[in-house]
């Protein structure tokens, strides 16, 4: 697998965002459009046209005058569903593209590297100013304007089913975070006691609760790196905190120090913050159907970009534990949307359900009741023999799953 550059974790400097030149484009007519039509409209200062119920914006990651840039074909779209389709022509320094509103990530795609096919995400946007964020690009922040107001959702059975799905998923996330709070406290107690074996067990038991809801945690850009940053992603001069430096202490050094105890305390503190933030999302009914869909697909990207490569749990070799948790979280997001999706596209829904069963059956073959976390350690030997097979397995699920965000956003 291609080695990615360090990930630029998102301290969203207001000065950078405010300093970007704002290109406000006038609204043009809606309707279907070809890429050639879109390019021509962009040159004239038009807004993205609507096709398949969503405004279509193509983002090309490419070299422009010797600089690594993210180039959207439009900088404006009408309010409502907007699909961003991202392709990387020839830039190795950029591997993800995000859409931001203030400090919240509304949608993103990772593993955007040269040679892979285009990927997309769909979000429903109200009128206002947003930013496209391409960490690693020469110009990382691109202003994006949404004009007008989104049409009110039609009162119909499918809309009701989608609302039930998002409400149910919000409760699922809150339940996972509640369990993570308890698991983090157990981890801290074990670390404070100086018992390495007990701390290793507590670490393995805590990780799945976080990994199942990782897209939600990642939507809080300052919190996610504080909890889940890998050493290769640490900016020079930045303190490394969260699970993974503690993982290194417990599984590589196998020694608990005062620094280890401080790391465990920091995890407890940041998990408490995550509980507060996700509680607010549930209370405000902030989840949208396309966010669930994007998150379901995004979790599969996490599997491919860091679990199959062995980068996530480099010291503990618990990557298959995280792998299984990512799949479970993805399936839960899908299941909460499933009643509505059956009404929208029954054939696609059945295809995705069958593929989840295939993936879960394959994962059963890696279970080991005697191992930490209940799965075999992801050794170099296992990675060498099975990484390609696991990649193909996930790709066969991600391909149909990636189609659902636009479907639920355009009902």
Domain boundaries, the chain: 14-147, 157-409
Residue 24 tokens read as 């406000």
3-state SS record for 298-354: HHHHHHHHHHCCCCCCCCCCCHHHHHHHHHHHHHHHHHHHHHHHHHHCHHHHHHHHH
pLDDT at 23: 29
Q: Of 46-50, 51-55, 217-221, 362-366, where does the model show the most confidence?
A: 362-366
Q: How many residues are there in the chain?
A: 411
Residue 357: how many other CB atoms lie within 10 Å? 11
How far is it, in rounded angstroms, from Cα 102 to Cα 125?
A: 13
Share of the chain above pLDDT 70, in %: 87
Please tell me the predicted confidence (pLDDT) of residue 14.
30
Which CATH class for the 14-147 domain?
mainly beta
- pLDDT surpassing 60 at residue 182: yes
Provide the 8-state DSSP code for 55. Answer: E
- Specify whether the CB–CB gap between 184 and 65 falls below 8 A: no
224 close to 9: Cβ distance less than 8 angstroms: yes
Q: What is the pLDDT of residue 44?
A: 38
| Predicted local distance difference test score (pLDDT) of residue 48 | 92
Copy the structure tokens of residue 154.
Answer: 């039609």
Please write the tens of the pLDDT for every residue from 229-247: 999 889 888 999 999 999 9
- Distance CA(163)–CA(13), nearest Å, equals 34
Beta-carbon-side half-sphere exposure of residue 113 (alpha carbons within 13 Å) = 12
C-alpha span between 193 and 188 (Å, rounded): 9
> Is the pLDDT higher at 348 or at 237?
348
8 Å CB contact between 54 and 122: yes
Nearest to 108 by CA among 129, 91, 90, 84: 84
Say yes or no to pLDDT of 181 above 60.
yes
Six token digits for residue 201: 């067990």
pLDDT in tens, 264-308: 999 999 999 999 999 999 999 889 999 999 999 999 988 988 899
What topology does CATH give the domain 157-409? A middle domain of Talin 1 (1.20.1420)
The average pLDDT across 117-136 equals 92
Nearest to residue 134, comparing CAs of 69, 48, 214?
A: 69
Q: Given this model, what pLDDT does residue 2 score?
A: 31
Q: Which tokens in the block code for residue 255?
A: 């020694």
Mean pLDDT of 1-29: 32
Q: Is the pLDDT of residue 28 over 70?
A: no
Closest CA to 309 of 382, 218, 228: 382
Across 244-258, 292-306, 366-380, least confident range: 292-306
Q: Helices (H) and strands (E) in the chain — how many of each?
A: 13, 10
pLDDT, average across residues 205-228: 94
Decide if pLDDT at 113 tops 90.
no
pLDDT for 286: 87
For tokens 């099975």, name the residue.
Answer: 386
User: Could you write out the DSSP letters of every residue in 240-301?
Assistant: P-SHHHHHIIIIII----HHHHHHHHHHHHHHHHHHHHHHHHHHTT---HHHHHHHHHHHHH
Q: How would residue 110 be classed by pLDDT, with cut points 50, 70 and 90? A: confident
Q: What is the pLDDT of residue 167?
A: 94
Instruction: Write the pLDDT tens digit of every residue in 309-324.
Output: 999 999 999 999 999 9
What is the pLDDT, as a whole number, of residue 1?
Answer: 30
CA distance 377 to 398: 25
**What is the reported pLDDT for 153?**
55
Instruction: Provide the pLDDT confidence category of residue 154 given band limits of 50, 70 and 90.
Output: low
pLDDT at 108: 85
Classify residue 114 by its DSSP letter.
T
Residue 204 has pLDDT above 80, yes or no: yes
What 3-state class would DSSP assign to 217?
helix
pLDDT in tens, 32-91: 444 444 443 343 346 899 998 999 999 999 999 999 999 999 999 999 999 999 999 999
As given in the structure block, the two tokens for residue 268 are 């407890």
d(CA 48, CA 161) in angstroms, rounded, equals: 29
155 pLDDT more than 70? no
Tell me 236's DSSP state: T
What local confidence, expressed as pLDDT, does residue 188 receive? 98
Cβ atoms of 106 and 119 closer than 8 Å? no
CA angle 317, 321, 323 (to 5 degrees): 100
Confidence of residue 116 (pLDDT cuts 50, 70, 90): confident
Nearest-10 crossing angle of helices 196-212, 157-193:
170
- Average pLDDT on 182-209 reads 98
pLDDT of res. 115: 83
> Where is average pLDDT lowest: 18-32, 181-195, 316-330?
18-32
How high is the mean pLDDT of the chain? 87
What are residue 141's DSSP bridge partners? Answer: 133
Q: Residue 210 is encoded by which pair of tokens?
A: 């976080």
């Amino acid at each position: 697998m291609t080695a990615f550059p360090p990930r630029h974790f998102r301290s969203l400097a207001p000065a950078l965002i405010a300093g970007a030149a704002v290109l406000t484009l006038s609204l043009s007519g809606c309707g279907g459009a070809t890429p050639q039509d879109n390019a021509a409209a962009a040159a004239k200062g038009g807004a993205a046209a609507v096709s398949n119920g969503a405004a279509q914006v193509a983002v090309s990651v490419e070299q422009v005058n010797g600089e690594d840039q993210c180039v959207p074909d439009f900088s404006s779209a009408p309010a409502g569903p907007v699909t961003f389709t991202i392709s990387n022509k020839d830039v190795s320094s950029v591997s993800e593209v995000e859409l931001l509103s203030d400090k919240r990530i509304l949608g993103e795609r990772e593993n955007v590297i040269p040679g892979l096919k285009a990927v997309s995400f769909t979000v429903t946007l109200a009128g206002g100013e947003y930013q496209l964020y391409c960490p690693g690009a020469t110009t990382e922040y691109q202003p994006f304007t949404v004009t007008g107001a989104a049409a009110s959702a039609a009162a119909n059975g499918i809309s009701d089913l989608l609302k039930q799905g998002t409400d149910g998923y919000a409760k699922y996330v809150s339940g996972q975070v509640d369990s993570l709070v308890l698991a983090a406290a157990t981890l801290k107690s074990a670390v404070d006691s100086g018992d390495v074996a007990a701390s290793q067990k507590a670490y393995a038991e805590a990780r799945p609760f976080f990994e199942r809801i990782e897209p939600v945690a990642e939507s809080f850009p300052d919190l996610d790196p504080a909890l889940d940053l890998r050493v290769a992603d640490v900016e020079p001069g930045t303190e490394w905190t969260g699970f993974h430096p503690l993982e290194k202490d417990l599984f590589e050094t196998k020694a608990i120090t005062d620094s280890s105890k401080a790391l465990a305390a920091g995890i407890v503190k940041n998990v408490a913050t995550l509980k507060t933030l996700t509680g607010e999302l549930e209370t405000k009914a902030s989840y949208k159907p396309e966010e669930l869909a994007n998150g379901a697909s995004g979790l599969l990207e996490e599997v491919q970009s860091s679990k199959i490569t062995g980068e996530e749990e480099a010291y503990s070799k618990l990557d298959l534990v995280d792998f299984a948790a990512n799949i479970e979280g993805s399936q839960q997001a899908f299941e909460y949307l499933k009643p509505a999706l059956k009404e929208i596209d029954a054939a696609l829904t059945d295809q995705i359900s069958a593929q989840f069963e295939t993936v879960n059956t394959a994962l059963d073959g890696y279970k080991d009741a005697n191992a930490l976390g209940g799965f075999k350690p992801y050794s170099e030997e296992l990675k060498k023999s099975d990484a390609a097979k696991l990649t193909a397995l996930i790709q066969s699920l991600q391909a149909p799953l990636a189609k659902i965000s636009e479907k639920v956003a355009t009902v």
